[in-house]
Structure 1
Amino acid sequence: MANRFIVEADGGSRGNPGPAGYGAVVLDPATGEALAEAAEYIGTATNNVAEYKGLIAGLEAAKALDPDAEIQVRMDSKLVVEQMSGRWKIKHPDMKPLAARAQRIFPAGRVAYQWIPREKNKHADRLANEAMDAGQAGRTWEPGRSSAALEVPVAEPLAEPKAAPVGWGAAADLGTPTTFVLLRHGETALTPQKRFSGSGGTDPELSAAGRRQAEAAAAALAARGTIQAVVTSPMRRCRETADAIASRLGLEVRVEEGLREADFGAWEGLTFAEVKERFPEDLDAWLASSKAAPTGGGESFATVARRVAVARDKMLARYAGRTVLLVTHVTPVKTLVRLALGAPPESLFRMELSAASLSAVAYYADGNASLRLLNDTSHLR
């Protein structure tokens, strides 16, 4: 099953033409949660140009979450909705290239358009106005400053866990769960030094110790004989770990972009102590809030949670009822565990996760999840 997203977009011009900007938000249709926001001041332009650019930004944000998703676009621009639906001709020369660009983002048939009244498009409208305000003040719009985001819960993109079945035996009535066996990659040269090593750094290879750990994990998983598929983060240390295991198991490796480690921005390659010395205020903010990002454009834990949850849902649909090995990193593993437990974001700082450790989560047909294993390193001893 493909993911489904709602894209709400808007654009405005103070003068038409005049100072203009757009806003767009990607929503989870089941929960109404905001999965991504985009906004930008575009200088002098017309309302229609701004609206089309808002549409493009919203579609591109949805594609970044899942390029295979199905999209429902909701806008209060009758012109854009009717033109993109193919019912009205596009005559204005400024509109034609924008419409063509929007059409190329997703294949035909995967995007549907719906007109909504302005009062139901408040989130995107506010983002557009924030972008215009920022641009006219000589600033760049930033997601962290968006007041529109306060209208929707922070996107922990799961719905809240449902109540557990009455009695543990009731799980037997739900069929075979989908089980994710979560393996943190083996050590790199940075691991024993406890340096930040995310997706914005040097992408190091496994060390000799890391390769031994990968082989040990492969032997243990082969002995268990339960793994039916192997999926890995695109990062080198994970792919090397996954290849060692898949070779032992006789399986192919599938890469899932959503399993990559967080981007730690300017902290990449630094120890915790070095970050505390150089960026004390940013580090304090990061430790206090899942919305705070590392210095220099890194990813917040809230951003990683949205990305990981989208990847999780894609894999649950693809591997229903199967046991799948996910080779990934500290933050994605902890995030999957946290979401399975319905635990708060600060729980990420309260889990130990060793290199090449195994954890496991089972997902049932009723939407419940069960943590089966956490930080098992017995295969390394």
Structure 2
Amino acid sequence: MARRFIVEADGGSRGNPGPAGYGAVVRDADTGMIIAEAAEFIGHATNNVAEYRGLIAGLRAAHDLDPDAAVDVRMDSKLVVEQMSGRWKIKHPDMQPLAAEARTVFPRAQVAYTWIPRERNKDADRLANEAMDAGKAGRAWEPKARPAAPAAEEELPAPAAPKAGWAAPADLGTPTTLVMLRHGETALTPQKRFSGSGGTDPELSEKGRWQAERAAEALAARGTVQAVVSSPMQRTRQTAEAVARRLGLEVRIEDGLRELDFGAWEGLTFAEVQQQYPEDLDAWLGSAKARPTGSSESFTTLTHRSGVARDKILARYPGKTVLVVSHVSPIKTLVRLALGAPPDAVYRMELSAASLCAVQYYADGNASLRLLNDTSHLR
């Protein structure tokens, strides 16, 4: 498999335009460890030019490590992210050649762009300021010694737990609420068979459709949901569509919300996996980096893509209540990240079919778990 990198980049200008510099870090996506840094004072420039220069430097640093890698770029510049994603036109003549240069570093299919809040881009921001300070002192920026690599269970920093807090200050505004709905039952659900993104993609059973309608009734009665986002799997889309019809909303598909790929375990019960693949199962239960037999995914990789999906939703729907229709593993993962719990906490949660969970996210990164495994609408 190709390596996966996270590039975090930033740039700044003291005066805009004024003395400017950029910073960028490259992380190993599986461990979160910083494996490369880049920063430079670039003289007199604008914030946007410095941000683009930081992006280019981060991409080049990742390319030097592995030109075949898949790269997830994360920046707090909405302008750069939207322009490089192709959603906004690049009109400024200073931006056009920089964007063109950034696109030459990797083939477009290997790079994805995600907006993140400024507080989640602290390493790149720090490097940009170090570069500007060095330029002011008339010297070149030099990297400092990096801290030791994070422990394995810390995994990816971007989908890491939001900051803890008893209550968010009033001036942080309205939180974004993710109401997470597990899909209704399929024929495999009552038999407790592994059913991930690599299996038969079953549809809802008759009972599952009933559960989806009961969830739709309950959510319509609350009257708070303003958007619906779903995993691309058939069972989640059917559940999401039942709610969206009742609420008069459209369903937006987010691939990062799909279930884990269980490989050769697809369709088997836990007991059958224990009998046929005992060593692999023990390894999987003991480490977030272990993968089911024949699967390309571990809980570490699922944590990464679930966290990216979460950040996309938070960026798209600030201050709103969003219904997220997904599966056991992604929902448990987002709950445990909100709590700051260790990876093995997912094995200590029960999520019934068509159950509801809710997490609120504040502007400073605080998160508050408000609901877990609510099935009152099914009684």
| TM-score in terms of structure 2 length | 0.67
Give the structure 1 partner of residue 249 of structure 2.
Answer: 251
For residues 115-147 of structure 1, what are the alpha-carbon distances to aligned partners after superposition, in whole Å with 9 as ceiling and x for unaligned?
x99999x9xxxxxxxxxxxxxxxxxxxxxxxxx
Task: Tell me if structure 2 keeps the 8 A contact 1:340–1:370.
Answer: yes
Task: Verify: 1:162 aligned to 2:163, yes or no.
Answer: yes
Give the structure 2 partner of residue 293 of structure 1.
Answer: 291
For residues 147-196 of structure 1, what are the alpha-carbon distances to aligned partners after superposition, in whole Å with 9 as ceiling and x for unaligned?
x997995225334532415xx4x543321100000000000000000000
Cα distance in structure 1, aligned partners of 2:150 and 2:362: 31
Task: Tell me if structure 1 keeps the 8 A contact 2:162–2:365.
Answer: yes
The residue identity in structure 2 corresponding to 1:183 is L
Give the structure 1 partner of residue 200 of structure 2.
Answer: 202
Give the structure 2 partner of residue 177 of structure 1.
Answer: 175
Cα distance in structure 2, aligned partners of 1:28 and 1:153: 18
Cα distance in structure 1, aligned partners of 2:110 and 2:289: 29
For residues 20-51 of structure 1, what are the alpha-carbon distances to aligned partners after superposition, in whole Å with 9 as ceiling and x for unaligned?
xx9773345699753259xxxxxxxxxxxxx9
Task: Tell me if structure 2 keeps the 8 A contact 1:36–1:61.
Answer: no
Give the structure 1 partner of residue 28 of structure 2.
Answer: 34
Cα distance in structure 1, aligned partners of 2:9 and 2:292: 30
Task: Tell me if structure 2 keeps the 8 A contact 1:361–1:371.
Answer: yes
Change (3 A) 1:52 1:182: closer
Query: How much does 1:57 deviate?
Result: 1.9
Out of 45, 65, 72, the position equivalent to 1:62 is 72
Give the structure 2 partner of residue 283 of structure 1.
Answer: 281
Change (3 A) 1:34 1:23: closer
Cα distance in structure 2, aligned partners of 1:312 and 1:299: 18
Change (3 A) 1:201 1:149: farther
Change (3 A) 1:160 1:252: closer
For residues 224-279 of structure 1, what are the alpha-carbon distances to aligned partners after superposition, in whole Å with 9 as ceiling and x for unaligned?
10000000000000000001110010000000000000001110000000000000
Cα distance in structure 1, aligned partners of 2:224 and 2:376: 17
Change (3 A) 1:28 1:150: farther
Number of aligned pairs?
A: 295
Other structure's SS at 1:277 match: helix
Query: How much does 1:207 deviate?
Result: 0.2
Equivalent positions of 1:78-117 (< 5 A) are 102-105=106-109
Give the structure 2 partner of residue 322 of structure 1.
Answer: 320
Task: Tell me if structure 2 keeps the 8 A contact 1:33–1:153.
Answer: no
Cα distance in structure 2, aligned partners of 1:319 and 1:26: 23
Query: How much does 1:374 deviate?
Result: 0.3
Task: Tell me if structure 1 keeps the 8 A contact 2:214–2:378.
Answer: yes
Query: How much does 1:217 deviate?
Result: 0.4
Other structure's SS at 2:289 match: coil
Give the structure 1 partner of residue 349 of structure 2.
Answer: 351
For residues 292-347 of structure 1, what are the alpha-carbon distances to aligned partners after superposition, in whole Å with 9 as ceiling and x for unaligned?
11011241111100100011111101000000000000001101100000001111
Change (3 A) 1:366 1:24: closer
Give the structure 2 partner of residue 217 of structure 1.
Answer: 215
Change (3 A) 1:106 1:203: closer
Give the structure 2 partner of residue 25 of structure 1.
Answer: 5
The residue identity in structure 1 corresponding to 2:72 is A
Give the structure 1 partner of residue 92 of structure 2.
Answer: none
Task: Tell me if structure 2 keeps the 8 A contact 1:156–1:305.
Answer: no
Change (3 A) 1:273 1:118: farther
Give the structure 2 partner of residue 360 of structure 1.
Answer: 358
Change (3 A) 1:119 1:327: same
| TM-score in terms of structure 1 length | 0.67
Query: How much does 1:106 deviate?
Result: 7.2
Cα distance in structure 2, aligned partners of 1:174 and 1:306: 26
Change (3 A) 1:320 1:288: same
Other structure's SS at 1:353 match: coil
Task: Tell me if structure 2 keeps the 8 A contact 1:28–1:35.
Answer: no
The residue identity in structure 1 corresponding to 2:68 is A
Change (3 A) 1:220 1:160: closer
Other structure's SS at 1:197 match: coil
Cα distance in structure 1, aligned partners of 2:153 and 2:208: 42
Query: How much does 1:366 deviate?
Result: 1.3
Change (3 A) 1:296 1:70: same
Cα distance in structure 2, aligned partners of 1:118 and 1:270: 54
Task: Tell me if structure 2 keeps the 8 A contact 1:203–1:237.
Answer: yes
Give the structure 2 partner of residue 12 of structure 1.
Answer: none
